[in-house]
Structure 1
Amino acid sequence: MTNMNYKKIAIALGLSAFVLTGCANNTASNTQKGAGIGAVVGALIGKGTGDNDKSRYAWGAVVGAIAGGAIGKYMDNQEQEFREELADSGIEVRREGDNLRLIMPGNITFETGKANISGNFYPVLNDVALVINKYEKTTLQVVGHTDNVGGDSQNQSLSEFRATAVKNYLTNNGVDNRRVTTLGMGESQPIASNSNANERQKNRRVELTIVPLNN
């Protein structure tokens, strides 16, 4: 990613924090926040992500965009369905402005050091695809991560293979290929310390970010 794209993301995050601070002073719903945060974060981050940007515009030309003020409600409904379908599945559902992020830990999706999806995780990914297919006015980025065991090059490749495996499973279950991009981050973005087996397990994950199409 270029320095200019990093600057765009930094500006987006700063502006989104400003919007969220304003919302914290009243009782604004996610729907109301959507009009403001979606315009800032969705547009700026979306335009700073290279290939994902191309995917957004290509898919947007097929299905059309969501009107700015309706984005929040659209994502509210999708978030609720994900939470219902994925309750007790091991997948964490996070709302980040108008985006949704599904965090899929490696202990339930992949065996250690491998990129083959575990058989008992197929039904869960079926539920993910079911919801995604109902809300087609979104694009998706699948990002793979690893712990720090092994070499950098090996971990980079593993993270890419895992992201691709999740994408392939989703597209084989009806998700349009034009909606989905993949990215491997290797061991570069840990969310835990890597100091013991339990912490490393948290870092072995795939994250699926769902972004609404806006004008």
Structure 2
Amino acid sequence: MTLVKFSTAVAVSLVMGLGACTDPAMLNRDGTPSKERQGLIAGGILGAGIGALSNSSNKTAAVIGGAAVGALAGGLIGSQLDKQEAELRQSIANDRIAIVNTGDRLILLLPDDLTFATDSSDLTPSIRADLLKVADSLVRYPNSTVQVIGHTDSDGDAAYNQGLSERRASVVADQIQAGGVPYNRIRTIGRGEAEPVASNLTEEGKAQNRRVEIVIIPQ
């Protein structure tokens, strides 16, 4: 086994040891790993890989050091996301806005019928207040970028659906910017009908596909 392979194995072993940690603070109520713990593990593995590719004369130290730094950064990101998620759930009263914490980002799912009228890119009055609460959260957590992604179902012309998804993403982004978030933190994306999450053969499936996603990515 080469020195680099050995060093990487050592660091990964350390990270996996963290993964086996039974500290209650690192576990959810059901015993699954918390987002902070997941971030520590993912960050440690990434840091180990970076250390292995470094030009340091002491590869073992570089890999282990990279794992430690990566784990710390990953843990901080996971902890921040947990806190921001909890605050968003408390401030957004509408339970139809789903919030998904993947461990490295938050995804807010805005259903189409809550956000827009049929075949329109004009925001409904009810969603504007919730988007301003999202903006307030982003102002308080400035170390992140935001993707606003529009999606449609497959009814109608694909080119029209693409344009509609882009317009809807832009309108949501404009409302977030109006809440004080600099536009250089926001990227708008239109996916049209290209990324369904359900079947377009049923009305229920098409309703799920018509959505806007707000993706918050810590930096």
> Same fold judged by TM-score > 0.5?
yes
| TM-score (norm. length: structure 2) | 0.70
**What is aligned with 2:140?**
134
Tell me by how many angstroms 1:112 deviates.
1.5
Pick one of 42, 64, 80 that aligns with 1:37: 42
Give distance in 2, aligned partners of 1:113 and 1:39. Answer: 46
Shift of 1:116: 0.9
Shift of 1:23: 4.6
Q: Calculate percent identity across the aligned residue pairs.
A: 37
- Equivalents in 1 of 2:138, 2:202: separation in Å? 35
What residue is the counterpart of 2:181 in the other structure? Answer: 175
The question of 1:100 aligning with 2:106 is answered yes
Q: Which residue of 2 aligns with 1:145?
A: 151
- Which consecutive unaligned segments of at least 5 residues does structure 2 have? 1-14, 28-32, 47-71
**How many Å separate the matches in 1 of 2:209 and 2:87?**
26
CA contact (8 A) 1:132 1:175 kept: yes
| Structure 2 residue 103 is the aligned partner of structure 1 residue 118 | no
Q: Given the alignment, which residue of 68, 72, 75 partners 2:78? A: 72
Which of the two has higher C-alpha Rg? 2
Native 8 Å contact 1:38 1:71 kept in 2: no
TM-score, normalising length: structure 1? 0.72
How many residue pairs match? The answer is 170
Q: Distance in 1 between matches of 2:102 and 2:44?
A: 13
What displacement does 1:198 show? 2.4
Deviates more, 1:134-143 or 1:68-77: 68-77
Aligned-pair RMSD on alpha carbons? 2.4
Moved more, 163-172 or 188-197: 188-197
**Cα distance in 1 between the residues matched to 2:213 and 2:20:** 27
Counterpart CA distance in 2 for 1:154 and 1:24 is 50
**Structure 1 pair 181/39, CA: closer, same or farther in 2 (3 Å)?**
farther
Structure 2 equivalent of residue 15 of structure 1 = none
Which stretches in structure 1 are left out of the alignment for 5+ residues? 1-18, 42-65
Q: 2:184 aligns to what SS in structure 1?
A: helix
Instruction: Spell out, residue by residue over 1:163-210, the C-alpha distance to the aligned partner (whole angstroms, 9 max, x if none).
Output: 001001110110111110011100011111122322211111000111
Listed as ranges, the matches of 1:146-165 within 5 Å are: 146-165=152-171
**What residue number does 1:203 align with?**
209
Paired amino acid for 2:107: R
Contact 1:37 1:98 in 2 (8 A): no
In structure 2, give the amino acid aligned to 1:36: I
**Matched residue of 2:101: which SS?**
strand
- How far apart, CA to CA, are the structure 1 residues paired with 2:184 and 2:170? 14
Write out per-residue CA displacement over residues 3-30 of structure 1, whole angstroms, 9 at most, x where no aligned residue: xxxxxxxxxxxxxxxx99x958954432
Question: Does the CA-based 8 Å contact 2:42-2:74 persist in structure 1?
Answer: no
Q: 1:157–1:184: 8 Å Cα contact kept in structure 2?
A: yes
Distance in 2 (alpha carbons) for counterparts of 1:96 and 1:129: 20
Structure 2 match to 1:192: 198
